[in-house]
Each structure stands twice: as C-alpha cells, then as structure tokens.
C-alpha cells in the first residue's frame, strides 16, 4: 500500500485523523503522530520536485523497484501517478525517507495480509 490507505498523502495527521469507525482509522490513527515526520519529509521533498506528497510517496516505491498500484477514484489521481513516474529521487532523499520510515516501526498489516 504505497499511500498507506491515505495516511501518506498529507491529508491526514494527528490533528486530522482518518474517519473514526473505519478499518483505516483503526490501523493508522494511533500511528499518525509517528507518521507525521515522514509526511513532513515527503512534503519537503515534494516541494523541491514541484510535486504533491502522494507523487513523492509513489516515486519512492518506484525507486525501490516496486510497481505501485494506487487506487484511483478521481482523474487527478492518474495525473499524480504520471508525475510520480517522472520524479527521480536522489539517493540522499531515498535514504532520508528510509531512515524516517524505519523509525516509525509500525505494523499496519491488515487481517487479510500474511506476514512475510
């Protein structure tokens, strides 16, 4: 889940949690304070690439060799994926994101996902 059910879009955070009563809220709302550092860094990197936070999160997955599948509910989501495919993150940007992500150490695996 490249955007972690929306938690890495910049739309949600400690002051604006995911909607209560949803599986997404159950999985992510307690992690939003830890994810804030990551979303802040995604935002900073996005600024330097003239992109949006979800574009950078998707570009990060691409840089790691993944083929991201992003849920598309609006045409602008497709435009974001196109932008993400054009972003070339530096090794320093990738290392910074990895360091921050490792520090979160949160388990967001859904009940349907097997441990690997």
Domain count for the chain: 1
Structure tokens at 14: 């400690």
pTM: 0.83
d(CA 108, CA 5): 10
Asked whether residue 98 is domain-assigned, the answer is yes
In a domain, residue 49? The reply is yes
pLDDT band at 108; cut points 50, 70, 90: low
Q: In this structure, is residue 109 part of a structural domain? A: no
Q: Which residues form the domain of 65? A: 4-104
**For 19-69, how does the pLDDT look when each residue is reduced to its tens digit (9 = 90+)?**
999 888 888 888 889 889 999 999 999 999 999 999 999 999 999 888 888
Would residue 56 count as lying in a domain?
yes
The answer to whether the CB of 104 falls within 8 A of the CB of 31 is yes
55, part of any domain: yes
Domain membership flag for residue 82: yes
Within-domain flag for 115: no
Task: Answer whether residue 112 is part of any domain.
Answer: no
């Amino acid at each position: 889940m490249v955007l972690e059910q929306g938690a890495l879009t910049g739309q949600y955070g400690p002051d604006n949690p995911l909607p209560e009563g949803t599986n997404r809220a159950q999985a992510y709302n307690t992690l939003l304070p830890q994810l804030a550092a990551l979303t802040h860094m995604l935002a900073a990197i996005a600024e330097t690439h003239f992109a949006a936070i979800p574009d950078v999160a998707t570009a990060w997955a691409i840089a790691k060799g993944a083929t991201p599948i992003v849920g598309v509910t609006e045409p602008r989501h497709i435009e974001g994926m196109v932008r993400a495919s054009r972003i070339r993150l530096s090794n320093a940007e990738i290392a910074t994101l990895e360091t921050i992500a490792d520090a979160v150490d949160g388990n967001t695996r859904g009940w349907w996902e097997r441990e690997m």
